[in-house]
Amino acid sequence: MTALVLGHKNPDTDSIIAALAAENLFRGRGIDVAAAAQGEPAPETKFVLDRFKLNAPQIVSSVAGHDVYLVDYSDLAQAPDDFKDAKLLGILDHHKLGDVTSDAPLECWIQPVGCSNTIIKVVSDFYGVKIPAALAGAMLCAILSDTVLFKSPTCTKTDVKVANELAEIAGIQDINALGMEMFKAKSNLDASPRDLIFRDFKDFDMGGKKVGIGQLELISLDMISSDLMGKLQSELDAVKAEGRNSAILVLTDIMKEGSKMLVSSDNEDIIYQALGAKKDNTWMSGVMSRKKQVVPPLQAAFKA
């Protein structure tokens, strides 16, 4: 049976390109797999796929009865709803360990680096599996995306080393120029407020409460008009009302290297306090990573 290699809900560039890169890795080892995604590519990912002439993975919303490898997550909340009826074969990820489990021994490659594609390159080298030039270019873009051009505190020396090796394979001279081109595509605000909130959105269980956190990374926050800011707040209130304790939208300015946020919550004081922000001024200097700088303090505050 062909196993699926599947990224998380609301797929970002890393989860989609990691599915393609892990497909190359497993097929290179003689394992029958097919890349899959839980949704359409976002504008940034579309740019990457077009730039390197790669096809988007098939879209899958049900995995019951399938063998599955997960890339870029290990949380049930980010897996298809019928994941409990699938067989988990392995995980390639760079997040905190989630709550999936398996019935049999599984292949796990989880490391605290900046991007799942960094791990897949390291594992491909371990098995001697070659990476085609186009795929290498897309994997480089995934690293630039997840590490925000190497500026995120999640970025490690391994990410920078692997990015340079991938640039070499892809024949890319100017890594930074490629990254800026990609972030310009990512900064596209031509979508509904709901689509903007869900473009990169994850639900977390925090002390038994459902907390949804979206992130928009833009070249400049000045791109968001006050009209759009108001619409995003009202839509976020609607998203919160759909069975969540809290909905948060983190708005990251990649050039100024910090974030603002919109909050809709039954416990907003906990959120502002945990993140060192004020209700009337939510600018958080240096905050770029949801994974490392937003989720852990919120987890701790909601548990307390």
Q: Which residues bind Mg ion (CB under 5 A)?
A: 12, 14-15, 72, 116, 146
**Maximum distance among all Cα pairs of the chain, rounded to whole angstroms:** 56
**How would you classify the pairing of strands 284-285 and 258-265?**
antiparallel
Query: For residues 15 and 24, which CB has a smaller minimum distance to Mg ion in the complex?
Result: 15
Helix 133-146 × helix 43-51 angle, to 10°? 150
Quick one: 75 or 146, whose CB is closer to Mg ion? 146
Report how far residue 137's alpha carbon sits from residue 84's, in angstroms, rounded to the nearest whole number. 34
- Rounded Cα distance between 98 and 75, Å, is 4
Q: Give the shortest CB-15-to-Mg ion separation in angstroms.
A: 5
Within the chain, how many helices (H) and strands (E) appear? 10, 11
| Minimum gap (Å) between residue 27 Cβ and Mg ion | 22
CB-based closest residue to Mg ion: 14
- Closest CB to Mg ion among residues 43, 207: 43
The DSSP element (H or E) to which 160 belongs, if any, is helix 157-170
End-to-end CA distance of the chain: 45
Assess contact for 95 and 74: CB atoms under 8 A: yes
- Least separation, in Å, of the C-beta of 181 and Mg ion? 18
Select 146 or 253, whichever has its Cβ closest to Mg ion: 146
DSSP 245-267: SEEEEEEEETTTTEEEEEEEETT
Least distance from C-beta 146 to Mg ion, angstroms? Answer: 5
The nearer residue to Mg ion, 15 or 156, going by C-beta atoms, is 15
**Least spacing, CB of residue 119 vs Mg ion, in Å:** 10
Shortest spacing between CB 141 and Mg ion, in angstroms: 12
Query: How far is 200 from 136, CA to CA, in rounded Å?
Result: 23
Closer by beta carbon to Mg ion, 218 or else 270: 218
